[in-house]
């Protein structure tokens, strides 16, 4: 018999973050994996970040997680997307060295003295009096712990499809996890079925890159982690090609061989990451689609074909790939495939990510119905923090929607009855101007410090940075600039000029003026030599001051509903004047506040008014 404080099942991005958080907090932790050689594997694109996802990575770093520092340490390319657009949608993306990333994360795990690694398949949950007690593996060994975190990814009862053939794999070359899903059903959990997929991998030596458009990284890259002294590494290019009329013809002629279109796959796939078959059929008016060719590592010829996910037969895949400019003679190293797997709809969880049915049992990552490494890592870290709170018999933390994308992600999962793989998008947040990647440390470092994952030294450095930002904003709101030939000569390069004296803050609010421009026209600004991450926040706070104030007012209004608690023992079936469907949804999810109730799909403002009256009536009766 083996005893631990916490057992984590699955060593993907969610499992690794949970394991580090628990072990750092002093808990005796076991991380169980189907294959220890696949710790922190990126089974799809070896990339971190992108729209909304980069904000998740920055938030993970601010809380004390490891994804940001791991991406910074192992990148092949760093690129800021949407750099010409507003700060709410700017996004950092890293093309990572897949193997190097895995080695880096494993090394971090093995440095934790409270953490043990184990290669096994957990097949059964041990539960007693609605409390988790541990797990049993495929050999009958029992592992006991008062806290278990399931981060099983796409492994539960999984199978992969290539054409009309399937294999009992969760990922190519790795067997699916059998037993745990039936165990969850036996306990009383609802288990659903989802689908995702990944493109082919091809040999760089058989690609004609001259027929493609080169996609370089940034000359002066930004980084994910707020820690200083990030490594400057050589940048490697990606390449852009496009589908052709011939590509589309091959796909249309072979749809009957697709397990999705023939009805063999029953799981619902990700709407925002469709297969190439879906793109060709759903967007028939589009004669061509972008396809990116991206490196998997510095020391391999293996290339990832982004945007070309498919479950068509292997021989058809070869025809499709060879119809793309530059890939006419390509050698396919690994076929594309679809994967179908079990998951637990997350409405069965509380905002802490602990299940409502079984105390001490947490779920994080794709088992909750999400897609993406970043979404998984964010949940894993959050579940790990709350697992420690649970063990310490302390109140578990929650993150509000206005505080973070992580808070938005968790609230969406546990509130909305999601039946397709959930992907984080900037449009999912109603407070995205407040939730920018540049200010994630301002929003969450204190929470990470209080959770014990941010060191005293790092927290003091953060406080110093915030003071510098505050002081610089005050200076710009006070110092003035006067018109002169010298000043207007510089400003004319940016289609600007001034004919009167004004505060520097007033000048920087102009669309064409950045903090870098201020350095050219103001000697004090030039001599301050502030770091990029500092003056970016200064610029955003001043330039978008009006919009930010308006969004803060929206937060204040929404907070009124969040403060109205719904009694745990309220009987929804007795509420009149709302539909049966609404009563059923409220009873299923059992929202904690009126604000959460308002976000349940199908619940109307009129229902909230009725519920508000019911709460007051309930209070009077009590």
Residue 412's pLDDT is: 95
Q: How far apart are the C-alpha atoms of 327 and 325, rounded to whole Å?
A: 6
Residue 577's pLDDT is: 77
pLDDT band of 586, cuts 50, 70, 90: confident
Residue 436's pLDDT is: 92
End-to-end CA distance of the chain: 48
pLDDT digits (tens, 9 = 90+) for 205-221: 999 999 999 999 999 89
Q: How far apart are the C-alpha atoms of 13 and 15, rounded to whole Å?
A: 6
Q: How far apart are the C-alpha atoms of 610 and 272, rounded to whole Å?
A: 36
Nearest Cα neighbor of 411 from 562, 230, 547, 513 is 562
Q: How far apart are the C-alpha atoms of 126 and 180, rounded to whole Å?
A: 11
Alpha helices in 111-198 (DSSP H): 180-187
Q: How far apart are the C-alpha atoms of 516 and 27, rounded to whole Å?
A: 47
User: Topology of domain 563-621, per CATH?
Assistant: DNA polymerase; domain 1 (1.10.150)
What average pLDDT does the segment 444-458 reach?
97
Statement: residue 621 has pLDDT above 80: no
Burial zone of 308 (CB within 10 Å; 0-12 exposed, 13-18 middle, 19+ buried):
buried
Q: Contact at 8 Å (CB) between 585 and 597?
A: no
Half-sphere exposure of 608 (CA within 13 A, CB side): 19
Per DSSP bridges, beta strands 147-150 and 361-363 are parallel
What average pLDDT does the segment 546-557 reach?
85
Percent of the chain at pLDDT exceeding 70: 99
Statement: residue 310 has pLDDT above 90: yes
Q: Which pTM does this prediction carry? A: 0.93
Domain boundaries, the chain: 2-196+341-450, 201-338, 457-550, 563-621
pLDDT band of 380, cuts 50, 70, 90: very high
pLDDT band of 598, cuts 50, 70, 90: confident
pLDDT band of 88, cuts 50, 70, 90: confident
Residues 6+ apart with CB under 8 A from 183: 123, 124, 125
For the beta sheet containing 302-306, the strands, ordered from the edge strand earlier in sequence to the opposite edge, are 213-215, 238-242, 290-295, 302-306, 201-203, 332-334
Q: How far apart are the C-alpha atoms of 590 and 356, rounded to whole Å?
A: 10
Token representation of residue 366: 């794709």
What average pLDDT does the segment 378-397 reach?
98
Q: What is the mean pLDDT of the chain?
A: 92
Q: What's phi and psi for 337, nearest 5 deg? A: -155, 160
pLDDT band of 620, cuts 50, 70, 90: low
Q: Contact at 8 Å (CB) between 311 and 255?
A: no
In the chain, the largest separation of any two C-alpha atoms, in whole Å, equals 83
CATH architecture of 2-196+341-450: 3-Layer(bba) Sandwich (3.50)
pLDDT digits (tens, 9 = 90+) for 147-193: 999 999 999 999 999 999 999 998 888 999 999 999 999 999 999 99
CATH 2.40.30.260 correct for 201-338: yes
Instruction: Say which range, 296-305, 537-546, 555-564, has the weakest mean pLDDT.
Output: 555-564
Q: How far apart are the C-alpha atoms of 382 and 618, rounded to whole Å?
A: 33
What average pLDDT does the segment 39-52 reach?
95
CA distances from 467 to 163, 398, 434, 436, 459 (A): 59, 27, 19, 19, 12
Q: How far apart are the C-alpha atoms of 113 and 581, rounded to whole Å?
A: 51
pLDDT band of 579, cuts 50, 70, 90: confident
Choice between 600 and 120, residue whose per-residue pLDDT is larger: 120
What average pLDDT does the segment 291-309 reach?
96
pLDDT digits (tens, 9 = 90+) for 341-352: 999 999 999 999
What average pLDDT does the segment 231-256 reach?
95
User: Topology of domain 457-550, per CATH?
Assistant: Arc Repressor Mutant, subunit A (1.10.10)
What is the rounded radius of gyration, in angstroms, for the C-alpha atoms of the chain? 26
Which of 250-264, 268-282, 297-311 shows the highest mean pLDDT? Answer: 297-311
Statement: residue 268 has pLDDT above 80: no
């Amino acid at each position: 018999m083996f005893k631990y404080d916490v057992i984590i099942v699955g060593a993907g991005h969610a499992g690794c973050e949970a394991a580090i958080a628990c072990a750092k907090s002093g808990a005796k932790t076991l991380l169980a994996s189907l294959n220890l050689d696949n710790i922190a594997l990126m089974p799809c694109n070896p990339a971190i970040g992108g729209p909304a996802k980069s904000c998740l990575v920055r938030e993970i770093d601010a809380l004390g997680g490891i994804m940001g520092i791991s991406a910074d340490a192992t990148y092949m390319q760093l690129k800021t997307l949407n750099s010409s657009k507003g700060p709410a949608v700017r996004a950092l993306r890293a093309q990572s060295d897949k193997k190097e990333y895995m080695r880096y994360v494993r090394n971090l795990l093995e440095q934790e003295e409270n953490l043990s690694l184990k290669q096994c398949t957990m097949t059964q949950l041990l539960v007693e009096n609605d409390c988790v007690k541990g797990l049993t593996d495929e050999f009958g060994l029992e592992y006991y712990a008062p806290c278990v975190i399931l981060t099983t990814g796409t492994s539960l009862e999984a199978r992969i499809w290539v054409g009309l053939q399937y294999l009992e794999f969760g990922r190519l070359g790795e067997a699916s996890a059998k037993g745990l899903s039936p165990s969850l059903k036996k306990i009383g959990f609802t288990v659903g079925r989802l689908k995702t997929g990944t493109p082919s991998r091809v040999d760089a030596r058989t690609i004609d890159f001259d027929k493609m458009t080169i996609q370089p990284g940034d000359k002066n890259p930004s980084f994910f982690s707020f820690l200083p002294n990030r490594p400057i590494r050589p940048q490697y290019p990606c390449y852009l090609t496009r589908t052709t009329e011939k590509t589309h013809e091959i796909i249309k002629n072979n749809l009957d061989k697709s397990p999705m279109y023939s009805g063999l796959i029953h799981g619902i796939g990700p709407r925002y990451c469709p297969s190439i078959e879906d793109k060709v059929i759903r967007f028939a008016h589009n004669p061509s689609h972008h396809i990116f060719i991206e490196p998997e590592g510095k020391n391999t010829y293996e290339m990832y074909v982004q945007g070309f996910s498919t479950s068509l037969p292997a021989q058809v895949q070869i025809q499709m790939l060879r119809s793309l400019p530059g890939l006419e003679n390509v050698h396919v190293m690994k076929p594309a495939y679809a994967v179908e797997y079990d998951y637990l709809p997350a409405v069965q969880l509380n905002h802490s990510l602990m299940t409502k049915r079984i105390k001490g049992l947490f779920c994080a990552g794709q088992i909750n119905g999400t897609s993406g490494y970043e979404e998984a890592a964010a949940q894993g870290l959050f579940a790990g923090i709350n697992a420690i709170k649970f063990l310490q018999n302390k109140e578990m933390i929650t993150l509000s929607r206005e505080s973070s994308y992580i808070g938005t992600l968790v609230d969406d999962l546990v509130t909305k009855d999601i039946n397709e793989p959930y992907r984080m998008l900037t449009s999912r947040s109603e407070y995205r101007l407040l939730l920018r990647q540049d200010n994630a440390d301002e929003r969450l470092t204190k929470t990470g410090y209080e959770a014990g994952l941010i060191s005293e030294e790092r927290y003091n450095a953060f406080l110093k940075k915030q003071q510098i930002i505050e002081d610089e904003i005050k200076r710009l709101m006070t110092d003035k600039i006067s018109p002169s030939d010298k000043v207007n000569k510089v400003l004319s390069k940016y289609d600007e000029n001034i004919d009167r004296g004004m505060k520097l803050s007033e000048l920087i609010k102009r669309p064409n003026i950045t903090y870098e421009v201020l350095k050219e026209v103001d000697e004090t600004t030039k001599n301050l030599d502030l770091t990029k991450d500092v003056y970016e926040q200064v610029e955003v706070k001043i330039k978008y001051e009006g919009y930010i104030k308006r969004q803060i007012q929206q937060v204040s209004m929404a907070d009124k509903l969040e403060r109205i608690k719904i009694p745990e023992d309220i009987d929804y079936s007795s509420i009149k004047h709302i539909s049966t469907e609404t009563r059923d949804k409220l009873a299923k999810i059992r929202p904690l506040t009126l604000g959460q109730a308002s976000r349940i799909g199908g619940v109307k403002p009129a229902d909230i008014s009725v519920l508000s009256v019911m709460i007051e009536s309930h209070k009077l009766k009590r």
